[in-house]
A = this chain, B = another copy of it.
């Protein structure tokens, strides 16, 4: 973690310490649904799975509280943060608020390096989407990474470290929802066209159009989750 905790992309660096290592693996497992939402996280069990001491694992769990992926309750241990449709709507709407503002700022003050970064990220993402359309297996993970990179590149010229910090947290949260709903609704809809339009409007410095497209783009993910069966979030149904 370099100068400020807010500047640091939490997955970029490789773990310098056992705590960070456990933190990263635990985070991935939570986002991927290995540990179900609401599930109790018992230190005694997990310390074997992740091969660290109890204290070390507790610290990793504490770090995950920062990402709001884990909730700690007084004298009653840790728990995977629960999910709900209302929460996902909240995440999505707040993401729109922050991400459009950050995009506006970036368009206003972004320089050549910013443009170059977007072009590069878009190119990488397009390739992944092409491979995805060709039904190549195992490219979803790659797409996830590049999709995130594209979205971060778009707003990377925003002067606001705080907005980018919060955006990162929310994106991570929504990624968790997407992973969980992925089984039912693959990344079907023509998402590439949306990215293309977003890409062009941004480079054309058309803030109004770019933010409008971005808003629709983010909001569209709401439909997928809304179409889920009612018992999905209670955990009673079998999936």
Q: Chain A: residues with CB nearer than 8 A to chain B?
A: 1-6, 13, 16-17, 20, 55, 58-59, 62-63, 65-66, 68, 71-75, 81-82, 87, 90-91, 93-94, 97-98, 101, 159-163, 165-166, 170
Contacts and interface: CB of A to CB of B under 8 A. Distances in A.
Question: Of A90, A160, A163, which is in contact with the most chain B CB atoms at under 10 Å from its CB?
Answer: A90
Given A97-B101, A161-B87, A17 B74 contact: yes
A59 to B, nearest CB: 6
Given A94-B162, A162-B91, A81 B4 contact: yes
A4 B3 CA distance: 30
A19 to B, nearest CB: 9
Interface of A, secondary structure class, is helix
Given A5-B68, A62-B63, 18 more contacts: A1-B72, A2-B73, A4-B71, A4-B87, A5-B81, A6-B68, A16-B74, A16-B75, A17-B74, A63-B65, A68-B165, A90-B159, A90-B160, A90-B161, A91-B162, A94-B160, A97-B101, A97-B163
Contacts of A74: 1, 13, 16-17, 20
Contacts of A71: 1, 4-5
